[in-house]
Structure 1
């Protein structure tokens, strides 16, 4: 995080993401967990893993808030620095992989409806999820390697500055960090993004051409595609492009912190994908909004009634006082 980064801006993004993302992701997690326990489907397993990825980021987000309040200085326990960074970055790439997997599931479902339905197994989604978690966690373990294991030419350990978390690197560390980040860009962003675009372009094309598909389902499909592409283009692309710029310039670009903020917002935007992907989530979200609106209406009605009562009592007291004053004047 550079010195000229606006602390209020960083805090605003973090707080917004936490307040919006945590309750919506917990609600989605509970819904998908119940669905998977009752009748698991591949897409529900993928969506469940996506919520777990978002929740893991949101759990560690308060630590990033403390870092922002301290003006980029890491004032917490030392071991929380690599742990927070590990879950923070892992969530970003886990999300891109599961968004890709969901797009593949949707495309195969409309392109090869009969064959895919016959061969569709929840076990495949479970195996895919395990592979995604292992691949991403293995890549993001670079946080620990750079933090603790990289040695300087004289043989002494060269870790990050103890006052800053995974931000300032020695030349030896940059020789490892920058090429690995470039690999992240190619393997964990470009490849999933390309596959997602291919699948969703053909998914929408096929779905729109089918005459018997209800309009509501087509709208849901378009909403799913737009939400997913928005996540890739706005949330993931700038941060991953910073890897390329950093590799070319042989240093982390100063605007990388802003790109990372956009990636953080992804945890608050994924519930939109859940909404367009699952009718169960739509019902749950609609029921929650209806419940909140009912409670809010009851509170407002109670407050309004209280105000009317107070105003009525004030009016009667005024009438009594005016009557007493008139009587005094007459006497």
Structure 2
């Protein structure tokens, strides 16, 4: 399934994230703090999406060097948790903007968003390096193919799988759920927001949370179970291997849909996309006219 699924994800995800990255860069110049987090989210997603051709090559049985193989595995897992961190940042930004619109103004400045983003990247990279060191993978990075996981987890990778599931998935889900529920509650109490607009925002927020859960819950649940039961038990590894291989692929859904949903949530982002499409339409019309005349 990997070549087909990853090809579809790449064809959709790469232009979608590039478009979101362009829109976010335009909005940052206009002082939009949310766009800073969206830029970092798009960068993390793009790094992961750019590894998909290598995963396709591996799935097709083509030879891939050990260093490259290990590097794309590190990028993939790093993107998982960097993405979760920036999703939490975006959720908190929307929470403060809607629930406390007259407070925390400085927290929602571009400068603050840049500083928070740098901290998220730094923490994630340091944590990931610690994980590689703990599992003895960093010492022989080039020689050891990290993308080729052993059939049965050892104790150290099992402990890290449990830790990642809790810190990198469960806590972000709780933060996002809290922020979105409070946003929806504040919107329902608001008398200034039109009912149709209120419903639209609530739907998009719930759809965003739903997308994240669909993309990551199966993978994280399987990893958590593997961490608890797999070390030393071949039967558990045998039964869970197929589920694990499928759910690794489904995590890509989040990288494809995230930028699209967040651009739909932000009115300013939608306006910038409309302007871009109008500009592209005018240019295409000019090119078509010149071709016809020729």
- TM bucket, shorter chain: 0.7 to 0.9
- Does 2:59 match 1:68? yes
- Cα offset for 1:295? 6.9
Is the 1:85–1:143 Cα contact (8 Å) retained in structure 2? no
Indicate which of 153, 159, 168 corresponds to 1:179.
159
| Structure 1 pair 146–18 and aligned structure 2 pair: CA distance change class (3 A) | farther
CA distance in 1, matches of 2:3, 2:276: 27
Report whether the alignment pairs 1:203 with 2:183.
yes
RMSD: 2.9
**1:139 pairs with one of 116, 127, 130:** 127
Contact 2:84–2:168 at 8 Å: present in 1 too?
yes
For residues 277-327 of structure 1, give each alpha carbon's deviation from its aligned partner in whole angstroms, at most 9, with x where no partner exists.
Answer: 3224323444666767x979x99xxxxxxxxxxxxxxxxxxxxxxxxxxxx
CA distances 1:249-289 after superposition (whole Å, capped 9, x unpaired): 22553111111111112111112322223224323444666
Match of 1:212 in 2: 192
Superposition deviation, residue 105 in structure 1:
1.2
* Distance verdict in 2 for CA 1:98–1:118, change over 3 Å: closer
Q: Higher Cα Rg: structure 1 or 2?
A: 1
For 1:223 and 1:143, the matched residues in 2 are separated by 39
Gaps of 5+ in 1: 1-8, 151-156, 300-331
Per-residue deviation, residues 139-160 of structure 1 (Å, max 9, x unmatched): 333357543538xxxxxx9x75
How many residues of Structure 1 are paired with residues of Structure 2 in the alignment? 276
Higher relative CO (Cα under 8 Å, sequence separation at least 6) belongs to: 2
- Taking the aligned partners of 2:69 and 2:220, their CA distance within structure 1 comes to 21
The Cα of 1:114 is off from its aligned counterpart by 0.8
Which of 83, 88, 93 is the equivalent residue of 2:81?
Answer: 93
> Structure 1: how far apart are the matches of 2:151 and 2:132?
12
Note the 1:1-331 alignment, pairs <5 A. 9-36=1-28, 38-70=29-61, 75-117=63-105, 119-141=107-129, 142-143=131-132, 146-149=136-139, 160=144, 165-168=147-150, 174-215=154-195, 217-251=197-231, 253-254=240-241, 255-286=243-274
Tell me the TM-score normalized by structure 1: 0.74
TM-score, normalised to structure 2, is: 0.83
SS in 2 for 1:168: coil
Residue 189 of structure 1 contacts residue 240 of structure 1 at CA under 8 Å; is this kept in 2? yes
Aligned counterparts of 2:37 and 2:67: Cα–Cα separation in 1: 31
Cα 1:118/1:133, change in 2 over 3 Å: closer
Q: Which residue of 2 aligns with 1:4?
A: none
User: 1:280/1:112 Cα in 2 relative to 1: closer, same or farther (>3 Å)?
Assistant: closer
Q: Give unmatched runs, 5+ long, in structure 2.
A: 232-236, 289-294
Structure 2 CA distance for aligned equivalents of residues 187 and 201 of structure 1 = 21
Q: Judge conservation of contact 1:86–1:143 (CA < 8 Å) in 2.
A: no
SS at match of 1:114: coil
Q: Deviations over 1:162-220 (max 9, x none)?
A: 6x83311676xx22111011111111111111011011011011112211113454244
For 1:22 and 1:28, the matched residues in 2 are separated by: 10
